[in-house]
Amino acid sequence: MDKKHPTIDDLENRLLATGAKPVHIQGIWRKYLSGKPMGEQGRYAYPQQVQQELECIQKELDQIKILTSSRGSDGVRMVLKLSDGEMIESVLLPPSGLCISTQVGCAVGCLFCMSGKAGLIRQLTDLEIVSEVALARRMQPVNKVVFMGMGEPAHNIRSVLSAVNLLAKYSGIGYKNLVVSTVGDKRLFDQLRNAEIKPALAISLHSMIEEKRRKLLPNAPNISIEEILSFGREYAKLGGYPIQYQWTLVSGVNDTDEELDKLFSQWDGQYAVLNMIPVNSVEGSLFKRPD
């Protein structure tokens, strides 16, 4: 096993090798995802070998730690240090939400986004992703998780959907309160279309004008706005839950009447919410918040 970046399967295989039963592993996940240490003795004790392995695993997981936390207008921003020293961000959102990262860095390079300026550094494993939830629950209740932090979930599909499945089974968070965000990717759309557990979906739209959207999201997959909206209609029907379209409002860029007219002209049949968020003005950036 790669001790630096273990996965959910790695951990379960280690426990099975020590004699753990499936019922033990289910209880271990419920405990860990509630924010408690894996090795903590519950009502029923684990077999000795399993308990010893759990304590070793917990020491490894403790290498993922909250380095700093600061309260802002949108919640509590936490910088997490991973076992290899890389940093990611999670944000506790009021009253009981959590925004988590899926990659260290990001390859999409949205012009208004700071977390992708350095490009993609590495993928997070599914275990690292769910550990963000476990750590956050040590600080406050978490009843909703949005995969909207650092990274593009579609570029880490296997780990993201594995994390979604584990959280849906053992965290007590309903799968409609697990929100996967994407700039739009046919590979992710195909996976979600066939998935047994269908999380809520948020799609970063940002513009209804193809050329402008490609400039704002320079490394996004080659998928048209029409294809994105078409899948949104389909997935909302499959899951029985509205799509959330994200729109970062930038003064003079995508806050025009032309954008609204194009949006309205293609909005028919959408079971969706449009979430418009004024851009965060950052020193040195040409992108400013609308008045």
Model pTM score: 0.95
What's the confidence (pLDDT) of residue 69?
95
- Please give the average per-residue pLDDT across 166-184, as a whole number: 98
Cis peptide before 6 (omega within 30 of 0): no
What's the confidence (pLDDT) of residue 278?
94
Please name every residue paired with 78 in a beta bridge, in sequence order, or none if there are none: 69, 90
Given a cut of 70, whether residue 78 has pLDDT beyond it is: yes
Lowest mean pLDDT among 40-49, 114-123, 215-224, 275-284: 40-49
251-267 pLDDT, tens digit per residue, is 999 999 999 999 999 99
187-226 pLDDT, tens digit per residue, is 999 999 999 999 999 999 999 999 999 999 999 999 999 9
Find all residues with CB under 8 Å of 85, minimum gap 6, and list them. none
C-beta separation of 221 from 186 below 8 A? yes
| Cα 20 to Cα 22: distance, rounded to the nearest angstrom | 7
Alpha helix stretches (DSSP H) within 178-256: 186-194, 210-216, 225-239
Per the structure block, which two tokens stand in for 1? Answer: 């096993």
Confidence of residue 1 (pLDDT cuts 50, 70, 90): very low
